[in-house]
């Protein structure tokens, strides 16, 4: 076990802006508080919230400058704080512990992480593959397992079935026994959605009445999971796709929407915001994140959940390129960044 140095390399931002604001910095290695571990980061992945924090759209979530961004990480535990019982030095872990105000991020050689948010990395995955999963998996689990509580035989529509959240959502909904319908913009992506377990895949540009007629005999879906990120703009379509007493869950609900269908169809309508336990220092919520990731690690090692990595492979100095790729919408699945070669 190599000794932990006093300083580390990091990719930081000192102002908000386009991806060029990333710059190299040498920072002190974070101190480990009680109930935390120090992780030597091997890989991280990019989530839209990271690009929103970088650009300033979500500046309220940004750590102090020079800011180390990114929540998702996979790596090895190199120090253990007081009170940590579940991890020891040398353990390989994955999780989404920070990258937000008041936490340390994963775009650095070392990150201090609340042990509650972590789980042992699935044995069958590389560090890059493991780093792709935490944030999107917790979100998809919250949406489809906890909130919508998909039951066997129910019809489930996952909008954005090959995106970060959606591609895990398709797999979880299928594992819960749902009849899964995924939307994606190209035939190649729709093939991927079918490979991941979708029973049906179609283009989201189609008219909603048209696909509701084709796949549900006009009755509407039991569950609609919206991972589009279009906020209120897509919620009218979600409500139109849901059947009477359907459950609609979205990952973004900013904006205004007509709630009449919630009344006329007796819908339930829910929003997932997985960062809440991190923002509010909610220990029980953080423990739940760790528990979800532990359960998912088993599912991964049993071959039931697989991360799909975008066809790119960025090194530590290429964080800006990774952000550009995600923001351009050219990715399929998850964009990852290797921190340690």
- Provide the binding-site residues for ligand NAP, judged by CB under 6 A: 47-49, 135-136, 139, 159-160, 162-166, 183-185, 189, 204, 227-229, 234, 251-252, 272-275
Cβ proximity of 237 and 213 under 8 Å: no
Rank residues 174 and 251 by Cβ distance to ligand NAP and give the closer one.
251
Q: Which residues pair with 27 in a beta bridge?
A: 8
Residue 69 beta carbon to ligand NAP: minimum distance, rounded to whole angstroms: 14
Nearer to ligand NAP, 128 or 159 (CB): 159
Cα-based distances in Å from 21 to 14, 53, 64, 210: 7, 12, 15, 45
Neighbouring C-alpha atoms within 13 Å toward the C-beta of 187: 0
DSSP element (H, E) containing 44: strand 36-45
The first and second tokens of residue 209, run together, are 């009445």
3-state SS, residue 318: helix
Q: How far is the CB of 256 from ligand NAP (least distance, A)?
A: 17
Nearer to ligand NAP, 227 or 336 (CB): 227
Q: What are phi and psi of 302, to 5 degrees?
A: -90, 0
Q: How far is the CB of 134 from ligand NAP (least distance, A)?
A: 11
Give the nearer residue to ligand NAP in terms of CB position, either 77 or 165.
Answer: 165
| Tokens 């970088």 -> residue | 54
Q: How far is the CB of 111 from ligand NAP (least distance, A)?
A: 20
Residues forming beta bridges with residue 179, ordered by sequence position: 155
Cα distance between residue 198 and residue 159, in whole Å: 12
Residue 184: name the closest of 209, 157, 210 by CA. 157
Task: Measure Cα distances from 143 to 6, 44, 138, 164, 218 in Å.
Answer: 41, 23, 9, 14, 24
Task: Tell me how far, at minimum, the Cβ of 27 lies from ligand NAP, in Å.
Answer: 27
Determine what percent of the chain falls in helix, strand and coil, rounding each to the nearest 5: 35, 25, 40
Q: Are 47 and 71 in contact (CB under 8 A)?
A: yes
- Report the residue number, 128 or 189, with the smaller CB distance to ligand NAP: 189
The C-alpha atoms of residue 172 and residue 167 are separated, in whole angstroms, by 9
Q: What is the DSSP string of 158-225?
A: EESTTSHHHHHHHHHHHHTT-EEEEE-SSHHHHHHHHHTT-SEEE-TTS-HHHHHHHHHTTS-EEEEE
Give 63 or 164: the residue with its C-beta nearer to ligand NAP: 164
Shortest distance in whole angstroms from residue 302 CB to ligand NAP = 24
Report the residue number, 43 or 80, with the smaller CB distance to ligand NAP: 43
Comparing CB distances to ligand NAP, the nearer of 81 and 178 is 178
In the complex, the smallest distance separating the C-beta of residue 179 from ligand NAP, rounded to whole angstroms, is 18
User: Least Å distance between CB 337 and ligand NAP?
Assistant: 15
Q: Tokens 């937000």 identify what position? A: 100
Nearest approach, Cβ of residue 167 and ligand NAP (Å):
8
User: Would you say 151 or 185 has its CB closer to ligand NAP?
Assistant: 185
């Amino acid at each position: 076990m190599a000794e932990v140095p006093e300083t580390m390399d990091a990719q930081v931002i000192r102002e908000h802006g386009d991806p060029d604001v990333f710059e190299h910095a040498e920072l002190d290695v974070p101190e480990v508080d009680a109930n935390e571990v120090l992780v030597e980061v091997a890989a991280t992945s990019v989530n839209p919230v990271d690009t929103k924090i970088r650009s300033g759209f979500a500046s309220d979530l940004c750590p102090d400058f020079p800011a180390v961004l990114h929540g998702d990480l996979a790596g090895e535990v190199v120090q253990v704080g007081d009170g940590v019982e579940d991890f020891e030095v040398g353990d390989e872990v994955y999780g989404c512990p920070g990258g937000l105000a008041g936490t340390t991020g994963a775009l650095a050689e070392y990150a201090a992480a609340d042990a509650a948010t972590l789980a042992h990395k699935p044995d069958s995955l590389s560090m890059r593959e493991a780093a792709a999963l935490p944030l999107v998996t917790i979100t998809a689990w919250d949406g489809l397992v906890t909130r919508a509580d998909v039951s066997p035989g129910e019809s489930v529509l996952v909008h954005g079935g090959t995106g970060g959240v959606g591609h895990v959502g398709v797999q979880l909904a299928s594992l819960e026994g749902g009849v899964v319908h995924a939307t994606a913009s190209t035939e190649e992506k729709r093939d991927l959605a079918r490979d991941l377990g979708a029973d049906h895949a179609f283009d989201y540009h189609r008219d909603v009445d048209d696909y509701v007629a084709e796949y549900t005999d006009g009755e509407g879906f039991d569950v609609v999971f919206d991972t589009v990120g279009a906020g209120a703009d897509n919620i009218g379509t979600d409500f139109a796709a849901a059947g009477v007493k359907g459950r609609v869950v979205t990952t973004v609900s900013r904006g205004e929407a007509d709630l009449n269908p919630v009344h006329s169809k007796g819908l339930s309508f829910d929003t997932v915001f997985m960062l809440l336990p991190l923002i509010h220092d909610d220990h029980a919520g953080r423990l739940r994140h760790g528990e979800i990731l532990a359960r998912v690690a088993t599912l991964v090692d049993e071959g039931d959940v697989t991360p799909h990595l975008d066809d790119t492979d960025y090194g530590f100095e290429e964080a800006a390129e990774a952000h550009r790729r995600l923001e351009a919408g050219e990715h399929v699945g998850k964009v990852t960044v290797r921190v340690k070669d």
